[in-house]
């Protein structure tokens, strides 16, 4: 039995999702007549109480299109130094939007009103113009920690005072919502645009959604096409998205409970120096200084446990739809065998 904890992107569609994909009514989405894509976009927009949505291939694409639509060349984007949009999207803010970045050093990747205020550029011809603030929820590099609506509201106020737009990288937003009990509508009211991933905790093979005003999504559709992201019978994939929104949100609690159990198992390992607080489905732990994460991950893989190095001494495990109680049981056995061997 392979224990794959590299990411929540490794899941395979469940039979019900595959069935929905087989049954999908499709058209040509570039020509604007794929009914299943339209149904998914409408469903997502309504869920958040926003005007429109756009189905895209990936979270990188939805984030990058959002930055491109919000910013003009020479603008400046405020985000945390740990944010995916800055760290892991190939320098896309510079490439796609010709914009610069001001990085905050938040706690576990979270921005606060003060951190944002400090990074707002003065009205000075030497400076780029602050335009956009990007938040990430949950924060991947922060170990799956999340914002609450009041925390975001405080950041929104600063944005309003300074004429800044606010974008959410909500790749794992539903993991946050299931913990806080807050509603998607509250998010729809706070953000100018929201990116949601269907291919992570929600278990779809492919796909992300960008949500915003009708005018914003109209512009976003242009850039999706320009990036080569216009797709044809995408309804087969959109059907998976509809299935996921209907069936895979509430079950995220199970992933969180299993992540916490993994945390308990890690506490027994002498090589683990620190475990980040486990808030959702991401477990990050720090190894003793004499152990390199890359070596450790290689050794785990040889024992049937797949993980990713997340820094020189940091390792990440992510729980997901295909990580069951049986896998947890097996993980527990494998880790105690390790302790006995060493
Ligand atoms: C927080 C966050 N945002 C965006 C992305 C990008 O998503 P994709 O891999 O679909 O491009 C990821 C992917 O891991 C992520 O963790």
Cα four-point dihedral sign 16, 21, 25, 30: positive
The predicted pLDDT at position 92 comes to 98
> Domains, the chain, ranges and CATH?
15-247 (3.40.640.10), 251-341 (3.90.1150.10)
Distance between terminal CA atoms of the chain? 22
Q: What pLDDT was estimated at residue 338? A: 78
Q: Order across the sheet with 193-197: list the strands.
A: 52-56, 208-212, 193-197, 165-170, 129-136, 75-80, 100-104
Going from the Cα of 196 to the center of ligand 1, the distance in angstroms, rounded, reads 9
Q: What is the pLDDT of residues 19-71, one digit of tens each?
A: 999 999 999 999 999 999 999 999 999 999 999 999 999 999 999 999 999 99
Other C-beta atoms within 10 Å of 315: how many? 23
> Is 84's C-beta closer than 6 angstroms to any atom of ligand 1?
yes
User: At what angle are helices 235-247 and 15-23 packed, to 10 degrees?
Assistant: 140
How are the residues of the chain apportioned to helix, strand and coil, as percentages rounded to the nearest 5?
45, 20, 35
Question: Given the CA of residue 57, which atom of ligand 1 is nearest to it?
Answer: 10
Determine the Cα–Cα distance for residues 2 and 153; give it in Å rounded to an integer: 42
Q: Ligand 1: distance of its center to the CA of 63 in Å?
A: 9
Q: Print the SS3 string covering 92-155.
A: HHHHHHCCEEEEECCECCECCHHHHHHHCCCCCCCCCEEEEEEEECCECCCCCECCCHHHHHHH
Write the residue with the smallest CA distance to atom 7 of ligand 1: 59
The pLDDT score that the predictor gives to residue 342 is 73
Q: CA-to-CA distance for 284 and 267, rounded, in angstroms?
A: 12
- Beta strand pairing call for 305-306 and 3-4: parallel
Residues 253-286 pLDDT 10s = 999 999 999 999 999 999 999 999 999 999 999 9
Q: Which residue among 59, 193, 210 has the greatest number of ligand 1 atoms within 8 angstroms of its CB, and so is best to mutate?
A: 59
Examine the pLDDT at 341 and tell me if it is beyond 80.
Answer: no
Identify the burial level of 220 via C-beta atoms within 10 angstroms of its C-beta, where 0-12 means exposed, 13-18 middle and 19 or more buried: buried
User: 41 CB less than 6 Å from ligand 1?
Assistant: no
Contact 295, 271 (CB under 8 A): no
Spatial separation of the C-alpha atoms in residues 296 and 107, rounded to whole Å: 26
Q: Report the DSSP pairing between strands 129-136 and 75-80.
A: parallel
Instruction: Dump pLDDT digits (tens) for 285-337.
Output: 999 999 999 999 999 999 999 999 999 999 999 999 999 999 999 999 999 98
pLDDT tens-place string over residues 191-244 = 999 999 999 999 999 999 999 999 999 999 999 999 999 999 999 999 999 999
Confidence (pLDDT) at 184:
98
Query: What is the CA(171)–ligand 1 centre distance, in A?
Result: 6
Ligand 1 neighbourhood includes 66 CB (under 6 angstroms) = no
What pLDDT does 339 receive? 77
With bands split at pLDDT 50, 70 and 90, how would you rate the model's confidence at 15?
A: very high
Sheet holding 308-309, edge to edge: 272-275, 282-287, 314-318, 308-309
Looking at residues 128-133, what average pLDDT do you find?
98
Compute the average pLDDT of residues 144-168.
98
Q: How far apart are CA 133 and CA 156, in angstroms?
A: 9
- The pTM of this model reads 0.97
Nearest CA among 312, 295, 342 for reference residue 334: 342
User: The tokens of 302 are what?
Assistant: 């040889």
Task: Output the pLDDT for position 170.
Answer: 98
Output the CA 125–ligand 1 centroid distance in Å: 35
Under 8 Å between Cβ of 328 and 317: no
């Amino acid at each position: 039995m392979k224990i794959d904890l590299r990411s929540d992107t490794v899941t395979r569609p469940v039979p019900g999702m595959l069935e929905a994909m087989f049954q999908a009514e499709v058209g040509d989405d570039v020509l604007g007549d794929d009914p299943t894509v339209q149904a998914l976009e409408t469903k997502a927009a309504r869920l958040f109480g926003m005007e429109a949505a756009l189905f895209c291939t990936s979270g990188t694409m939805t984030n990058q299109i959002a930055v491109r639509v919000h910013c003009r060349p020479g603008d400046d984007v405020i985000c945390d130094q740990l944010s995916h949009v800055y760290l892991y999207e190939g320098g896309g803010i510079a490439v796609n939007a010709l914009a610069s970045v001001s990085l905050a050093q938040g706690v576990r990747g979270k921005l606060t009103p003060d951190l944002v205020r400090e990074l707002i550029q003065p009205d000075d011809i030497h400076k780029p113009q602050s335009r956009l603030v990007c938040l990430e929820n949950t924060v991947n590099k922060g170990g799956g920690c999340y914002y609450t609506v009041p925390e975001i509201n405080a950041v929104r106020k600063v944005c309003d005072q300074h004429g800044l737009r606010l974008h959410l990288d909500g790749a794992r937003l539903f993991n946050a919502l299931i913990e806080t009990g807050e509603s998607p509508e509250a998010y729809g009211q706070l953000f100018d645009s929201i990116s949601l991933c269907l291919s992570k905790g929600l278990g779809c093979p492919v796909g992300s959604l960008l949500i915003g005003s009708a005018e914003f999504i109209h512009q976003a559709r242009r850039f999706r096409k320009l990036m080569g992201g216009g797709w044809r019978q995408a309804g087969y994939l959109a059907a998976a998205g509809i299935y996921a929104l209907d069936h895979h949100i509430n079950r995220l609690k199970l992933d969180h409970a299993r992540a916490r159990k993994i945390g308990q198992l890690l506490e027994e390992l002498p090589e683990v120096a620190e475990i980040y607080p486990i808030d959702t489905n991401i477990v990050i732990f720090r190894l003793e200084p004499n152990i390199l994460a890359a070596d450790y991950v290689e050794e785990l893989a040889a024992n049937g446990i797949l993980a990713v190095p997340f820094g020189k001494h940091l390792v990440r495990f992510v729980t997901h739809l295909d990580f069951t109680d049986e896998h947890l049981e097996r993980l527990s056995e494998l880790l105690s065998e390790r302790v006995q061997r060493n």
